[in-house]
Amino acid sequence: MLDNGNGLLFSPAEPWRKERKRITHDLNLDYNRLYEDRTDERNEILKQILGELNEGVFLQGPITFHYGIHTKIGKGTFINFNFTCQDDAQVTIGENCNFGPNVTIVTPVHPMRADERRLLRCPDGSEKRLCWAKPVRVGNDCWLGANVVICPGVTIGDNCVIGAGSVVVRSIPADSFAAGNPCKVIREITEADSLARKPEILGDCSVIGPD
């Protein structure tokens, strides 16, 4: 069903697209009306929304998915309040990620010229409003701070931390701390960042370390 992650123009008004979006938007509302302890009911709704839902995923809600079916979420991932995912193209979120409040992922792209945003001519001669879309991927074990926006075509590598309020317009390599608007790599995340080196924070707790 997904045929718009290849950079080619498509019409958001195609009948199957409009119907799928209507279904997903209604399911968003159903999910958001439920108390968070209604976990079984909420998970059943997520299974109807998402292309792939793995074990241990928790979405605090409210949520806003556009298609839903183009999104896959890996096991153990936690997504905080007000998550928005405009998944016209594929969105892949890895395992054991943590998203702060108000994270937004967008995949569609529109023409820069105003007249081209209004109408373009299709191969059959008809004139329609068209756009295109680029997939987004978030790797495993990533932490995205509050109000992060991930733009079309971006890949965030494994083990990254993205600072609050960042607008990610370019891909970020693995093991990076990146922040800003536009988001840029600040530095590599290293052993020096371990809480084992921060006893004032660690207190009586201890670091388990990698498996």
Exactly one of 25, 66, 70, 110 is catalytic; name it.
Answer: 110
Question: Can 110 be counted among the known catalytic residues?
Answer: yes
Instruction: Give the side-chain half-sphere CA count within 13 A for 16.
Output: 7
**Euclidean distance between CA atoms 71 and 67, whole angstroms:** 8
Which residue, chain included where needed, has tokens 């409009």?
18
With vertex at residue 62, the alpha carbon angle to CA 56 and CA 66, rounded to the nearest 5 degrees, is: 90
Which residue, chain included where needed, has tokens 């756009």?
131
**Euclidean distance between CA atoms 61 and 39, whole angstroms:** 12
Give the β-pairing of 136-138 and 83-86.
unpaired
Catalytic residues, which ones?
A: 110
